[in-house]
Amino acid sequence: MERDEHLVHRLEAFCDIVIGFSLAELTFGLVIPSHAIALVSNPSWFLYYLFTFSIVALMWWSHYRIFRVVFYPDTINILINFRGSPPSHY
């Protein structure tokens, strides 16, 4: 039981790092205009950024809830976690 709990914490930490890198890449992709007025005159870039950030944050929250409520560290669940879908031979 303690070993399974340790494995779950390790998987959670790995997934948190992946989400963190995704959010960092999202931020590094922002282009800062040369004039401040461009930020106000065309705010759609900020709305797109917030929308994308929200999607990634919701994915992280959903993943966290799955790990806390229904995840059990057996082979099939670990494969689903990394692949996103069950292996074809199951």
What is the domain range of residue 66? 2-83
Instruction: Classify residue 26: in a domain, yes or no.
Output: yes
Q: What is the pLDDT of residue 71?
A: 77
Range from 15-24, 48-57, 63-72 carrying the lowest mean pLDDT: 63-72
| Dist CA 49 CA 53 (whole Å) | 6
Instruction: Classify residue 32: in a domain, yes or no.
Output: yes
Q: State the total domains in the chain.
A: 1
Is residue 26's pLDDT more than 80? yes
Instruction: Classify residue 89: in a domain, yes or no.
Output: no
Q: How many degrees, rounded to 5, is the angle at CA 39 between CA 27 and CA 34?
A: 85
Q: How many CB atoms lie within 10 A of CB 78?
A: 15
Instruction: Classify residue 88: in a domain, yes or no.
Output: no
Is residue 90's pLDDT more than 50? no
Instruction: Classify residue 36: in a domain, yes or no.
Output: yes
